[in-house]
Structure 1
Amino acid sequence: MASNRPAPQAVYIPNDDDFGTYDDSFEEWNPTEDSVRPVRGRHRVHKKGGGLARSSTVLGVGVIAAVGAGGIATAQDGKPPVSLSMPDLPGMDTVADSLPEAKSLPGVGSLISDDAADSTVSAAAAAPLTAAGVSTADAEQGTTDAGEALRARIMQQAENQQDQADTVVRTAAEDAAVKKAAEEAATQQQAAQRDAKAEAAAKKKKEAEARKAKAEAERLAKLAKSYAIPTSSYTLTSHFGDAGAMWSSGHHTGLDFAAPTGTPLKAVHTGTVKEAGWAGAYGYRTVLELEDGTEVWYCHQSSLNVSAGQKVTTGEVIGRVGATGNVTGPHLHMEVHTPDGTGIDPLGWLQGKGLNP
C-alpha cells in the first residue's frame, strides 16, 4: 500500500545568547505559511483533552469485531495466525464502555454463544471453511470436505430420483403387462365362450336334426304300414320321363313293373275305385282315388277284380298283371296324378311314403 509523503521538518534556528544549545520549548521558529506545506493523503488528527482520535475509535471497533468473530476466516495455507494487540491508550475504558455488545453486531452475534457452548464455538471457529456444511452422517461416513459432502448428497439425491423414476417405469410396465394379460385372458374367455356357444348351437342343431330324422323315420315307418308296393316279383324297366318314340307324348309318363302275366296287383293305400275298365292304349285300367285326392292308375291288366265306387284297403288285390293295350310285354304301367291332375314321378312318390321299390 502506498504511503503519504512525510511533512517537512521546520528549520532549526539557535538562540543568540545560547549558541549551540537547543531550546526544546519551541518546536518551530517563527513558522510561516510557506514553511508548512499542507499534507495530502493523511488525516490531520487533533487531540482533544486526553481522548482518542476518531480514526483510532474506528480502528478499535474493527479490531474488537474481528477478535469477537473468533478468527472464523482462517486460511488453510499452514501460516500461523497473526495476533493483534491494542495499545494502552488513554481513555480506552470510556471508549470500550460506549461500544455495543459483540453479540448485537450483524453477523457476529450468531457466532457467540453462552459460556456452556464456548468449547463448541471455539471448535467451530477453529474448523476450516471446507468443513462447513458437513453433517454428522457425512462425518460418520468419513467425509470431511464440504464440497465432497455436497457432491455426495447431490449424487445420492440423483440416485434416489433415478430409483423413483425406475420404480415408476417398472410399475407402469407391470401395470401394462397385467392389463394386457387381463385383456388377453378376457379375449380368450370371450373366444372360449363363443366357441362353447357355437359348439352348443351345433350340438343342439345336430340333436334337432337327429330328432327330425328320427321323427321322419317313424313317420315313414308308420306310412309304410299303411302303404304297399303294388306288386311283387317284378323288375323296374322304364322310369318316369324316359324319352322314346314308342310313347305318344314322346316320353314315358309312369313307372313300369315287369312281371309275369297274372301276378296280383295290390292297392297301395286305402281309397275308392274311381274307374275300372278298358282305356284304349292303357288296356284294362283301374283308377284308385286316395283320401287326399291323389289318383293311382293301374294299366295293361289282364283282369280286373274291383268295380267303380268300391272301397278298398291297403294291400287288397284289385287286378292282375297283363299285356293289354299298347305294350311290348306283360307289365304294370303305374301312374300317379295329384288332385289337380298333374302327373308326377311314381318312384319318388312311393319313396316319400316310406317305400323303396
Structure 2
Amino acid sequence: MASNRPAPQGVYVPNDDDFGGYDDDSSWEEWNPTEESIRPVRGRHRVHKRSGGGLARSSTVLGVGVIAAVGAGGIATAQGGKPPVAIEMPDLSAVTDSLPEAKSLPGVGSLISDDSDNSAAAGQNVAVAAAPLSAAGVSTADAEQGTTDAGEALRARIMEQAENQQDQADDAVQKAAEEAAVKEAAAQAAAKQSAAEKKIAAEKAAAKKKAEAAAKKKAEAERLAKLAKSFTLPVASYTLTGTFGQPGSMWSSGYHTGLDFAAPTGTPIKAIHSGTIKEAGWAGAYGYRTILELDDGTELWLCHQSSMNVSAGQKVTTGETIGRVGATGNVTGAHLHLEVHPGGDSTGVDPAAWLRGKGQSL
C-alpha cells in the first residue's frame, strides 16, 4: 500500500525570553504536506486490493486526510510555541468493514474506479471531466448532434413540447370530428331506417287494405253467387225498354215507377224468389198483376200479364212459372212491368239495382 512520508513530531524549542539561554539555531525540521507529498506513488507500485475494493480505497482516502491533519497540527504547534500534542492513530482495520463503499460517497466514487489501476500502470493521470454549466438541460442526443448551447437546447425542447401539444390538440379535434361524423352517420342511418320502416308499414297497410277489399269483394261475390242460386230473372229472353225514374207524360206519376222487360206475348214469367202469392188479379192500368211477397216482406209486382197461373195464398219456389207476358192495361206493346216495394211500402225502388244486389246480371 503506497504511503506518504511520516510526519515528524514537532520539537518544542523555547525562545530566549522564556528560558534565556537557548540558541536560535537549534535544529528542527518542519514538515509541510504538499500535493506532491500526499499524491499516491505511481509507477510500478500497485495498490493491493482487498476483498471489497471500495473499503480499501476509502481507507486510503481517510488515511491521507488524517496524515494531512496531523501534519497541519504539527506545523501549528511548532509555530504557536505550544507543546506538541500526541496523536494516537486509531486502528483503521477495525472500522473498514463498517465504512460504506467509496463509490457511493458523493465526489469520491468518480475519483476512484477500477480503471485507475490500469491508468496508473500505464503512467497516465486520471482526470475527472466536469460538465460545463452552460450545458445544463442538454441531452445526450443534443450533445451528439452538437447542439450544446443551453439556450438552443431549451428552445428546441420548448418547440418540441409545443409540437407535441399541437399534435395532441389536432388528435383531439380529429377524434371529435370522427365522433361527430359517427353520430351524424348513425342519425342518418336511424332516419333512413325510420323512413324505411314507415314505408314498409304504409305498404303493409295498403296491402292489408287491398287484401281486405279483395276479401270483401270475394265474400260479396260468394254471397251473390249463393243468392244467384236462390234468385232468378223473371224472363229468360227480353229487351229493356223502360227504366226506373224515367220521366214521361204517359205515366200518371210523371215518371216510370218500374222496369220494363219487352218480350213476345205468352213468354213464361218465373217467380224471382221463393215466397207467397199475396195477390193475383186485375189491377186497372197494371192489367193482370201478380204480387209475390218474399220472406223479408218485400213485394214484387209483375204486371200486364196475358194470363196468371197462381192464386192468392199459394207458395211458390224460385224459377216456378207464375204467369205469361201480355199487353193488358195501359201499355203500348207486350212487355212485363216489374216493380219492387221493400216492406210493402207504396213507394218502390229501382228494380235493376235490386236485382243486381241479388246476384243477377241484366
* Residue-by-residue CA offset, 1:270-325 (whole Å, 9 max, x unaligned): 00000100000111100000000000000111111111101000000111111111
Q: Tell me the residue number matched to 1:68.
A: none
Q: Hey, what does 1:114 align to over in structure 2?
A: 107
CA contact (8 A) 2:285 2:329 kept: yes
Change (3 A) 1:340 1:284: closer
Q: Name 2:3's counterpart in structure 1.
A: none
Secondary structure of the equivalent of 1:320? strand
- SS of the residue corresponding to residue 339 of structure 1 reads helix
Residue 235 of structure 1 is matched in structure 2 by 239
CA distance in structure 2 between the partners assigned to 1:270 and 1:218 by the alignment: 20
Q: Among all aligned residue pairs of Structure 1 and Structure 2, give the percentage whose two residues are the same amino acid.
A: 71
Q: Is 1:309 the equivalent of 2:309?
A: no
Letter in 2 for 1:148: E
In 1, Cα distance between equivalents of 2:289 and 2:282: 6
User: Counterpart in 2 of 1:289?
Assistant: 293
Question: In the TM superposition, what are the counterparts of 1:1-357 in structure 2 within 5 Å?
Answer: 114-117=107-110, 123-124=130-131, 127=132, 130-339=134-343, 341=345, 342-357=347-362
> Tell me, what secondary structure is at the counterpart of 1:237?
strand
Q: Give CA-to-partner distance per residue, 1:175-219, whole Å, 9 cap, x none.
A: 111111111112222222222222222222222222211111111
Q: Distance in 2 between matches of 1:120 and 1:348?
A: 130
Which range moves more in the overlay, 244-253 or 142-151? 142-151
Question: Gapped runs of 5+ residues in structure 2?
Answer: 1-74, 77-105, 112-125
What secondary structure is seen at the aligned counterpart in 1 of 2:278? Answer: strand
Does the C-alpha gap of structure 1 residues 297 and 138 become closer, same or farther in structure 2, counting only changes over 3 Å? same
AA aligned to 1:240 is: F
How large is the Cα RMSD of the aligned pairs? 1.9
The one-character-per-residue Cα deviations of 1:94-126 (angstroms, maximum 9, x if unpaired) are 8xxxxxxxxxxxxxxxxxx624446887533xx
Matches of 1:355 and 1:159 in 2, distance apart?
94
Indicate the SS of the match to 2:177.
Answer: helix
The aligned amino acid for 2:107 is D
Cα distance in 2, alignment partners of residues 215 and 246 from structure 1: 42
Counterpart CA distance in 1 for 2:248 and 2:145 is: 120
Aligned in 2, Cα 1:163/1:253: closer, same or farther, shift over 3 Å? same
Give ranges in structure 1 of 5+ residues lacking alignment.
1-92, 95-112
Partner AA of 2:355 in structure 1: L
Output the CA distance in 1 between the equivalents of 2:127 and 2:332: 146
Look up the equivalent residue of 1:114 and give its one-letter code.
Answer: G
For 1:269 and 1:289, the matched residues in 2 are separated by 9
Tell me the distance in 2 between the aligned counterparts of 1:114 and 1:260: 147
Q: Which amino acid aligns with 1:218?
A: E
Question: Are the equivalent residues in 1 in contact too, given 2:299–2:343 (CA < 8 A)?
Answer: yes
- Partner secondary structure for residue 222 of structure 2: helix
Bigger Cα displacement from structure 2, 323-332 vs 190-199: 190-199
* Partners of 2:228 and 2:359 within 8 A in 1: yes
2 CA distance for matches of 1:245 and 1:151? Answer: 119
TM-score scaled by length of structure 2:
0.64
What is the letter of the counterpart of residue 151 of structure 2? Answer: G
How far off its partner does 1:136 sit?
2.1
Matched residue SS, 2:130: helix
Deviation at 1:134, TM superposition (A): 1.4
Q: C-alpha separation between the residues in 1 aligned to 2:284 and 2:215?
A: 49
- TM-score, structure 1 normalization: 0.65
Instruction: Write the distance in 2 (CA, Å) between the matches of 1:132 and 1:338.
Output: 119
Contact 2:258/2:338 (<8 A) preserved: yes
Distance 1:343 1:303, change over 3 A: same
Tell me the SS of whatever aligns to 2:343: coil
Distance in 2 separating the partners of 1:120 and 1:252: 142
SS of the aligned residue for 1:277 comes to strand
Matched-pair contact (CA < 8 Å) for 2:247–2:254:
yes
1:247 counterpart SS class: coil
Question: How many residues in Structure 1 have an aligned counterpart in Structure 2?
Answer: 245
